[in-house]
Amino acid sequence: MKQPIAGGSFLRHVTLAAGVWAAGGLAYGMVEALTNTVAGLHQPLRIWTEIWSVYGVSGLVAGVVAGSLLFVWDRIWRRPNLALVPFLLAAFLGSLLFAYLAVPINDRWLPLLLSPLSIAVNGVLLACGVVATLVVHRHLRARKGTRLTLSAVNVTFFFCLCLAIGQYADSFVAVTMPTGRTVLLYAALLVG
């Protein structure tokens, strides 16, 4: 006999999360391809197909993990139903922001992953990801049906476009600038 669980079944959580995160990964891949093509970094379609496959599968696997964690969270707290799709999309975008900020900063400027400075900086970066998740969730949770779909596509496209432009600027523009101007570039990208 099935017992009701706050927030729904495990399969529902995992399936929705895997779908939303895989679609988000593919959306980022498409926007990255568009950004690089406009910037003159042409790649054959075969290369982009492989990159999209990696983004899609990575999103699928991360979505399964996120859906499982959200299901456990629902079981422990037993709170009223959360609008799953808006929250999962917001969590995907916040995680994407955290990953795109944390990896280059840890690689270039922080000495060791477990040093006090690294832990403090990663805590700040994680807070940025959480704030982004909360802002996007607040924006999406009031929408239903077609408005939710259109708003989700719009927010995802804009968010991914900002990250792809930032990654392009970080890879090809910032390396040619002196450190002082690089800091100004990063500040402009964060504000934008």
Structure confidence at residue 22 (pLDDT): 95
Report domain extents, the chain.
Answer: 10-191
pLDDT in tens, the chain (192 residues): 344 444 468 898 999 999 999 999 999 999 999 988 888 888 899 999 999 999 999 999 999 999 999 898 888 876 666 678 899 999 999 999 998 888 888 877 777 778 888 888 889 989 999 999 999 999 998 888 889 889 999 999 998 998 888 887 777 666 666 666 666 666 666 665
As given in the structure block, the two tokens for residue 47 are 């290369």
Burial class for 152, CB neighbours closer than 10 Å (0-12, 13-18, 19+)? buried
Burial class for 151, CB neighbours closer than 10 Å (0-12, 13-18, 19+)? middle
